[in-house]
Amino acid sequence: VNIAPIFADLKPKLPANVEPFTRFKLNSSAISELPANVFSGVPFAKMHIQNAYALKRVHRLAFNGTERTVQVINFSNSPVSEVVVGDWDLFGAIRLVNGLRDLVMSTTALTSLPSMAISNLPKLSTVEILYHRIQPVATNAFHNLPSLQSIAIRYGRLEFREHAFTVGRSPNSRPLQILFPDESLSDNSFTKAVFDGIGRPATISLDANSVSHLDKTVFNSFLAENSFNTVYDRTFNCSDTQNNWVSDKYHKVCVCIVGYNGNHARIQSYENITTAGCGVGRRGSLMDNKCFTYHPNSNTMFAGIQNGRVVQKGEQPWAVFITDLKNGHCGANCAVTDIRVYPGLTNQSFTSHPYYTGGQYFITSEFETNQLKTYDLALIRLNTTIPLDGTSGSSGINSICLPEEMAVNEAEEYVQLVGFGNDNDNGTGAGIQRIGFAKLMKAVADNTYGQNYGFAAQRIPFPSGSG
């Protein structure tokens, strides 16, 4: 079946300035090829070519005339391949779609990603490659992609050559995420320097894959290349001697997230503050110290903020005490005035402690409308900056490192809590800053309704709780 005459007949009937059609969906086992100019310039926004079981080749000019309007291309359950025969060139056709933003290749006949396969696409944002045995992903397979945000490769057997991800710089310094979320890797998947030359900050997520250790020849130069480069591995084992190079060089980060605290990156507007100090109090133990080996095994050794241990000055330098006044007595929807932020305060009775005023605040719309506790979050914009003095200063004020967006605690890990809680279950002793712990657990075992993770804490009477 040749679908080209259908579009050749349709094109002259359309107005010259016609808006792109939302979607073209090809679901036919009678079509074996997409020839040149098959769409005759009829514009589409999305191309979904799915279950085209006979489709084996695509001409490099197949999308000619609609290359500026197509934003999504999805080849699924269709036996197209990377093999080039004359002008029949799948990736050549894709590279000409200069408006492309999202590319999905799922269960096709791909067996490799050649050099420059996915390249020179200025707007490409996401790439998903699913259910393939790709051996190899060649050098420069992903090249010159300034808008690329994520590459997800899952459900398959993979081998990567050196410098496979030379995506280059992003005009807005956008970091790149390279995701291997499922069992698609082995110790032989990566060759030396595969992640070198990315050209911008990047996070590699190995998740719970079958890589037993981080090969120094693969990851050392990647971590050293950019201070914000990160490797996320839920199964990383600090006690494995093959990982000694990680714990020796990046000794503060011998945990599931490898990269951030171990490197020294400066925080904007604070030249004397680096990430070497953020997230760590002057008197506090590193929370990631040797992968929590200093913690007792028993959950009962951890209290929450209530019944928690009293915090010393500088131990939790990112904690603040916030007060506000409401204009009237109209409940949660009242306008808030006179917001005061007290950084470094450890006891609310210290009335002379310096504070900073908030000019604006931003509440999540879900909480503002429905008062849902799940969305009880807000941001405050201060009228002046807070002078941070680092872990050696006198004010007890410092920054905090936040985790990466995809750094999910699925293994019931502990988190540190700080707040102005009571010193016993009777509700007395409030107003003094205390430290405690909680354990991250799945709220719903099968992730029903997207309820991935919730807090669970076990508390025991002070002072035998957290220590």
How much is the pLDDT for 9? Answer: 94
Which comes out higher in pLDDT, residue 440 or 165?
165
Task: Indicate if the alpha-carbon torsion angle 19, 23, 27, 31 is positive or negative.
Answer: positive
User: pLDDT > 90: what percent of the chain?
Assistant: 33
pLDDT digits (tens, 9 = 90+) for 293-322: 333 444 434 566 777 777 777 777 788 888
How much is the pLDDT for 271? Answer: 44
Tokens of 90: 């799948």
Mean pLDDT, residues 424-452: 63
How much is the pLDDT for 456? Answer: 46
How much is the pLDDT for 31? Answer: 94
Mean pLDDT, residues 347-357: 84
CATH number for the domain formed by residue range(s) 3-280+289-313 = 3.80.10.10
Which band of pLDDT confidence, cut at 50, 70 and 90, is reported for residue 441? low
Contact call for residues 144 and 122 (beta carbons, < 8 A)? no
Q: Per-residue pLDDT for 331 more than 70?
A: no
Which band of pLDDT confidence, cut at 50, 70 and 90, is reported for residue 242? confident
Q: What is the pTM of this model?
A: 0.58
Amino acid (one-letter) located at 79: P
Which residues lie below 8 Å from residue 419, measured CB to CB, with a gap of 6+? 305, 319, 433, 434
pLDDT digits (tens, 9 = 90+) for 361-387: 888 777 777 776 667 778 888 888 887
Q: Per-residue pLDDT for 101 more than 90?
A: yes
Which band of pLDDT confidence, cut at 50, 70 and 90, is reported for residue 445? low
**Which residues in 282-409 belong to E strands, given as ranges?**
309-310, 320-326, 336-343, 356-363, 378-382
Which residues lie below 8 Å from residue 263, measured CB to CB, with a gap of 6+? 223, 227, 228, 229, 250, 275, 276
pLDDT digits (tens, 9 = 90+) for 46-65: 999 999 999 999 999 999 99
Q: Per-residue pLDDT for 263 more than 70?
A: no
Mean pLDDT, residues 243-249: 75
Which comes out higher in pLDDT, residue 434 or 69?
69
Q: Per-residue pLDDT for 446 more than 80?
A: no
Which band of pLDDT confidence, cut at 50, 70 and 90, is reported for residue 415? low
How much is the pLDDT for 143? Answer: 97
Q: Per-residue pLDDT for 440 more than 70?
A: no
| Residue listed under structure tokens 């669970």 | 456
How much is the pLDDT for 354? Answer: 86
Which residues lie below 8 Å from residue 64, measured CB to CB, with a gap of 6+? 36, 37, 39, 41, 96
Q: Per-residue pLDDT for 70 more than 80?
A: yes
For the chain, the structural domain boundaries read 3-280+289-313, 323-346+357-383+409-420+430-444+453-466
Q: Per-residue pLDDT for 38 more than 90?
A: yes
Instruction: Identify which of 273-287, 343-357, 441-455 has the greatest average pLDDT.
Output: 343-357
Count of CB atoms situated within 10 Å of the CB of 33: 15
Q: What is the mean pLDDT of the chain?
A: 76
Instruction: Identify which of 134-138, 227-231, 264-268 has the greatest average pLDDT.
Output: 134-138
Mean pLDDT, residues 205-223: 79
| CA-atom Rg of the chain in angstroms | 27
Count of CB atoms situated within 10 Å of the CB of 166: 19
- Give CA angle at 269 (264, 273), nearest 5°: 35
Tokens of 397: 């004020």
Which band of pLDDT confidence, cut at 50, 70 and 90, is reported for residue 419? confident
How much is the pLDDT for 234? Answer: 61
Which band of pLDDT confidence, cut at 50, 70 and 90, is reported for residue 111? very high
Mean pLDDT, residues 13-24: 92
